[in-house]
Amino acid sequence: MELTDVTSCAQKIIESIETVIVGKRESVELTVAGFLSGGHILIEDIPGVGKTMLAKTLAKSVGGTFKRVQFTPDLLPADVTGSSVFNQVEGNFIFREGPVFANVLLADEINRATPKSQAAMLEAMEEFQVTADGVTYELPKPFFVMATENPIEYEGTYSLPEAQLDRFILRVSLGYPGAKDEVEILTRQMMHHPVEDVTMVLEEGDALKMQMAVRRVFLEESLKDYMVQIVGNTRDHPDLELGASPRGSLALMRCSQAIAAIDGRDYVRPDDIKRVAVEALAHRLIVKSEQSIHGLRAEEVVQEILRSVPAPTG
């Protein structure tokens, strides 16, 4: 697939999502960029702003198999990955695939499951495979996880460990809609929910082709140095307990390539990197407790680093 085709298909996906998610163009584009990057998305926001609808609409737009898992405290790892069951006819055990065997998996309220069930996702998200009873099973391609969580209500939740947060290429928020947009939401949902009208806008196999094509977006050497310097500054920052790993650098690269492709370019600009830096890095950082008490957030640290690191010119 040519990059011009990627741009056209990406705009179709965005337009499809915007029939349901109103007035959140930036968040929608970042979500599509995360999908094109071949990574996974964490949508973190307050209840009722459209997190689940965003995930469902994207899944219906890109096609492929779609599964949803409602993460709850009693969810078992086998409920996600699958388990071996005894076949009485043949007298042997067969593996019954869990919902993780899908092209798009919606992990709804992932922070409500126990750490053991959350850990069941680690191998799938990083290595695109599942191991059960010593046997490894490949997941379908593309494989894309969209997880949602509520950052406000902490009762009955389990915070995602750093190792799992690091596996999400972006963390995206939606926020409250503006007054005009909220009126539009009411108008669209008077008779029925617009998600019912969403149809697949890609041909079969296009999603994987788009992900492969995005990797051909040109990235100049000075921009690689720029990314590494940004990530490196998180490791030495006096207000941070933990900086971003090399996976953070890879996330910056992949997402900036995807943003360039969405905008119709075959090369990355410094502005593409700045545009995705907060969403690609902030969730990987841990602010020191004494600074966190005074209200310092990881997003503010990333923005400060972006202001202090000079972008390449020319």
Q: What is the pLDDT along the chain (314 residues), one digit of tens a residue?
A: 787 888 999 999 999 999 999 989 999 999 999 999 999 999 988 888 888 888 888 888 887 788 889 988 888 888 999 888 877 777 788 888 899 998 889 898 888 888 888 888 888 888 899 888 788 889 988 889 989 887 766 666 777 878 888 899 999 988 888 899 999 999 988 888 888 888 888 887 888 899 999 999 999 999 999 999 999 999 999 998 989 999 999 999 999 999 999 999 999 999 999 999 999 999 999 998 888 888 889 999 999 999 999 998 86
Q: Are residues 57 and 74 in the same domain?
A: yes
Q: Are residues 151 and 237 in the same domain?
A: no
Q: Is residue 61 part of a domain?
A: yes
User: Residue 233 sits in a domain of what CATH number?
Assistant: 1.10.8.80
Q: Using alpha carbons only, give the angle 294, 148, 19 rounded to the nearest 5 degrees.
A: 115
User: Residue 60 sits in a domain of what CATH number?
Assistant: 3.40.50.300
Total domains in the chain come to 2
Q: Is residue 194 part of a domain?
A: no
Range(s) of the domain holding residue 305: 217-309
